[in-house]
Structure 1
Amino acid sequence: MDDGIARKAGPLPAAGKEGEVMGECEDGKEYRCWEELLPDALGLIFRNLPLQEVLTVVPRVCKSWGRVVAGPYCWQEIDIEEWSQQQSKPEQIGRMVEQLVGRSGGSCRRISVSGLPCDPLFSFIGDNARALRTLEIPRSEISDSIVETVAPRLSNVTFLDISSCTKIGARALEAFGKHCKSLVGLRRVMHPIDLVDKVCQHDEAHAIACSMPKLRHLEMGYMLIATEAVLEILGQCRDLKFLDLRGCWTVDDKFLRERYPGLRVLGPRVDDCYENSYWEECSDYSDDSIYSWEFMDDVDDDDYAVGSDDEAIWDDGQGLENLEVRFYGGGFSESFAGFDWPPSP
């Protein structure tokens, strides 16, 4: 596969007039060699590849591609949610997050990972990804106290997913709202199994109402709330355009639709699977702003050098020798079989 990719770059080109590496097509037109593309341009291209190929195939094509993958260019958006759902060892998730966030050089704008295993890992994200705009950490084992400590470092977050994070509650929501002043999207979807020991979550609804006035998109599926709690949120979050109440059986959705005709309400009945496209709709920064690498001007390329095409990508002193980077087809592993939303009663 490496040879096939390499052949696309064409034959070895000759040097141009100003020392540039150029080649010549059959029709006489000049072209640049793949390895001469700017690192941030290659990063844009590699973003469209599956995680498996970025980690295991691209670094072995050539040294320049290996340097791009080893540096921050590919890790503006770290989306390993599907991979993390398939892992049975929490330490594997922790090590992958530390490696990729570390390689982003502090420029990561989005992190999507399921099941952060501990508070120290969340603190690591807060210390090393302060440019975050989107944070998606469903099913994570983080606590109220660590959120109160780390939230001030995540002030740029505009969209937050803390679904099925069972160890946090109103305190964490209030901390996120207090410090993430630009928060416009919140996903706090629970599973009925998560709530077997709870009577209600009105305190969480109150925290949302009091600390997140700029919300435009709110998902509260299966939370134990009543109509009064939702009305409190709507009274404070006046910009709200979409409200997901699937599984919130005690909420009078008919009353809400009559009182707020401009509000799109989904639920409480579960008729179908709603595919959220909020990330594409509400992202307010362009590729031009994402891929600016002024901070790389003083960094020597040797810091990201890969010794040879046969060496592993993770050559930064820590390595991933013991990290199992497994990829599966056909959905989740058996441990997640049956993890689905129940039908309407």
Structure 2
Amino acid sequence: MVGPGSEGSGMEECSEDRCWEDLARDALGLIFCKLSLQEILTVVPGVCKPWSRVVSGADCWQDIDIQEWSQQSEPDKITRMVHMLLSHSAASCHRLSVSRLPNDSLFAFIADHAQSLKTLEIPRSEIGDGIVEDVAQRLTKVTFLDVSSCTKIGARALEAFGKNCKSLVRLWRVMHPMDAAGKVCHHDEARAIAYNMPKLSHLDLGYLLIATTDVVEIASRCQDLKFLDLRGCWDVDDKILQEKYPGLKIIGPCVDDCFGNNFWDECLDDDSIYSWEEFMDNDYFAIGSDDEAIWDDDHVLEGLEVRFYGGVFGEGFAGLDWPESP
């Protein structure tokens, strides 16, 4: 190995230590995007001011996934976190994954600050048909939509999404049996999907109260459909569908048991807590510090506690606690 004293200036330059803070901002942004949300929010900003400036910019916030954290957080904390992250994204966010939006106003804020959004995952959110109809025209780039267990929306919202998100190819509308309590059927939702989302290739309709005729109408109009999840849709005859659409992969209506590996025990073992009070106590982030401090926008994070769980709530989470057929 050639050391600092070796002949040849080029070799000497190659052996010199390079400072990470001297890397181009774009390069640092690409590196930080590979880190977890936990590390970006609680570790990187405290390393040095250049790194703090990078993570306060838009480059690190094109993919915002706070799904796991939001499942365990209070509504006001979810609101503050979404406001902070989308503000930093500067309308460059391509994916937003957050559960339990508490109200219509937060959904409107998302639509106003996420014009580049392609993936929108907002399961179990308290949003209504009216707000979706009002702001869906601002979400025209969305190709993947998850509105599972959003019990306050129905056919009107699905129609608005379909008419405005013309490139939509993937829809999750997975419900829990309790979500359907008091409803007679979801025929109107199936019809809204069939007539307004023609480019769908992947559709999840778990536990919707629909019939075979509803699914046939969807499949006949969504001619690009390749995957259809009907687990828990007990009134659907999958044999008729398989005969009529042999190229369509259909799962359900039977539901498999997913609890063979002590799922919840593994979740609890990975629980760790990061307190924002401790994070903000750092002198660099204290109130009154210079304007390069990262999370000082009206001190939105004051008193905000973030819990991170070990990544166990993936795509298969929705419906893991569904009961078997009655």
TM superposition score normalised by structure 2: 0.82
Q: 2:224 aligns with which of 239, 264, 269?
A: 239
Q: 1:84 aligns with which of 45, 63, 70?
A: 70
Map 1:193-204 onto structure 2 (within 5 A): 193-204=178-189
**Conservation of the 8 A alpha-carbon contact between 1:63 and 1:308:** no
**Conservation of the 8 A alpha-carbon contact between 1:164 and 1:188:** yes
Counterpart Cα distance in 2 of 1:179 and 1:321: 37
Q: Which residue of 1 aligns with 2:98?
A: 113
How big is the shift at 1:197?
1.1
Counterpart Cα distance in 2 of 1:113 and 1:213: 26
How big is the shift at 1:330?
8.8
Q: Show CA shifts across 1:68-111 (max 9, x none).
A: 11111110000000000011x20000000000000000100000
Q: CA RMSD in A?
A: 2.5
Q: Show CA shifts across 1:29-85 (max 9, x none).
A: 345321122222222222222211111111011111111111111100000000000
Q: Which amino acid aligns with 2:32?
A: F
**Conservation of the 8 A alpha-carbon contact between 1:216 and 1:242:** yes
Change (3 A) 1:146 1:330: closer
Q: Which residue of 2 aligns with 1:344?
A: 325
| 3-state SS of paired residue (1:218) | strand
| 3-state SS of paired residue (1:186) | strand
Q: Which residue of 2 aligns with 1:313?
A: 294
Counterpart Cα distance in 2 of 1:182 and 1:326: 34
Q: Which residue of 2 aligns with 1:134?
A: 119
How big is the shift at 1:340?
1.0
Further displaced range: 49-58 or 104-113:
49-58
Q: How many residues get paired?
A: 285
Q: 1:123 aligns with which of 104, 108, 121?
A: 108
Q: Which residue of 2 aligns with 1:143?
A: 128
Q: 2:195 aligns with which of 202, 210, 230?
A: 210
Counterpart Cα distance in 1 of 2:311 and 2:107: 30
TM superposition score normalised by structure 1: 0.77
Change (3 A) 1:261 1:329: closer
Map 1:1-345 onto structure 2 (within 5 A): 28-30=14-16, 32-87=18-73, 89-271=74-256, 309=284, 313-328=294-309, 340-345=321-326
Counterpart Cα distance in 1 of 2:91 and 2:158: 25
**Conservation of the 8 A alpha-carbon contact between 2:68 and 2:308:** no
Change (3 A) 1:24 1:310: farther
**Conservation of the 8 A alpha-carbon contact between 1:59 and 1:309:** no
Identity among equivalent pairs (%) = 67
**Structure 1 residue ranges without an equivalent (≥5):** 1-16, 18-22, 274-306
**Conservation of the 8 A alpha-carbon contact between 1:61 and 1:309:** no
How big is the shift at 1:313?
3.4
| 3-state SS of paired residue (2:76) | helix
**Structure 2 residue ranges without an equivalent (≥5):** 1-8, 259-281, 287-292
Q: Which amino acid aligns with 1:53?
A: E
**Conservation of the 8 A alpha-carbon contact between 1:164 and 1:190:** yes
Counterpart Cα distance in 1 of 2:125 and 2:89: 22
How big is the shift at 1:329?
5.4
